[in-house]
Structure 1
Amino acid sequence: MPPSLRKCPWSPPASTSQWMFPPQKYNADYDLSARQGADTLAFMSLLEEKLLPVLIHTFWVDAKNYVEVTRKWYAEAMPFPLNFFLPGRMQRQYVERLQLLCGEHRPEEEEELEKELYQEARECLTLLSQRLGSQKFFFGDAPASLDAFVFSYLALLQQAKLPSGKLQAHLRGLHNLCAYCTHILSLYFPWEGAEVPPPRQTPANPETEEEPYRRRNQILSVLAGLAAMAGYALLSGIVSIHRAPPARAPRTRALGMAEEVEEE
């Protein structure tokens, strides 16, 4: 182990890539004691076990939240035609991940499992609130890796406008956690909320260079989208092509010859 890393009072496992920091004291946990380092790993494990499944359920499984919030977010951010089918594929992946975290259950057990998951998530948030207390950060006045980890879980839950927010209501009742997220947002993300980052300066007359190619790019993007949709429809079986049997030759000539024979 390099001498610079030996100065750290506690050393996370070297096999975990996220803990590999350069030796210029860039480690956010450099000044933590061994006990604080153990608390960091314990709280991270607690959040992944108790809070992550409920966040997946809130944003990807709950029907109202998925349709009105999550799917809308991703559909607006993705280009056409990916915004038609990628959100649904992502939802299936998150549902499979939730099944791996909680195990597969019968349909009649899902409601009881949901109640249990939300109860454990509320207890986890309450424990975080008690651990934070009146401090600015979990280990004093300076942020550590635990603060970044907790903020990544709580900020989205606090800021999203969810039509079905059972866990969100509990979080908003823990005022020190809400103030904690608001403090980090104002400190490190000042453009979130009222303040907006300054717009990029554009050239005085950008149309002189982009106008000849704009119409071509629009036409190509429309053609590519139509081709992708047609290919997807054919591969998925929504549309199928059947070859019609060859049309029979008209029998007018045969009928005319038969009439001539009868006349003779």
Structure 2
Amino acid sequence: MKRNWMMIVLGLLCATTAQAQWRNGEVTVRTNGNVFESGDKVKVELLALEKIDEPFYAQVIYAYTETVEEKETDDKGETKTTYKQVERQRKRDASPVIELLDKYQSFVLDDRFHFGDVTPAGGYEIRVCIFNPYTKVLMTVLRTCIKHSNPEAAQVSQAGCDTYLRSFKRYNNSKFLTFDGWFRQSSNYVAVLMQGGRVVTHLRVGAYTSGSDELNLSGQELEGLTGKTFDVLIHDFQRGISSTLSRVTLPVGN
């Protein structure tokens, strides 16, 4: 009985510590891109921006909306057809307990989600639910947004994503780059540039918006990176929302 009580107390202490870590934005969600077509596969990973030495486990949920047709018959026998948006979810099994993540270590949570020809086009929110393994309490939900666009479909809209890194936009100088997308102007972002699964640059400051459709990266850490190809990840560490732009070649300025 005493041992069981101690385990409960330990679990609560771990939950308190881990919650502080999640709120500080020390873990983010990385994907293998943000625009997918039919036949493409999504890979979802956790990336630790600092050492996480408290155990946890995670569950991935893919959420998207579908248009549903509803028919109602009135008192006169006339049928009226209406359409509404309904959220659909695909849940993956929970991960094993993760005891430790070193700084810049990643952990693959899911790589089995494929887009098919009949998969609805539009925005998909990937939710990574983080649980305490002792109490099973949900500690936080990390989020990222991706798009599925069939070749025949029109360009997908913003579709509710307020943090979405769409493309490289402008070379200002070797230490000042601008990206295009959708961003929350009141958010505080950090940026990570990765190559071959390895973190090359981590900008803790110097990632800031200049409007809702522009994000600037500025800092000495960018010196010497132009002309090379990276995966670029931005992370709103206060809200736990991220976006990954894969295989971006940073142009060399004039």
TM-score bracket relative to the smaller structure: under 0.3
Greater relative contact order (Cα < 8 A, sep 6+) = 2
Higher strand share: 2
Higher helix share: 1
User: Which of the pair has more CA radius of gyration?
Assistant: 1
Q: TM-score, normalised by structure 2?
A: 0.22
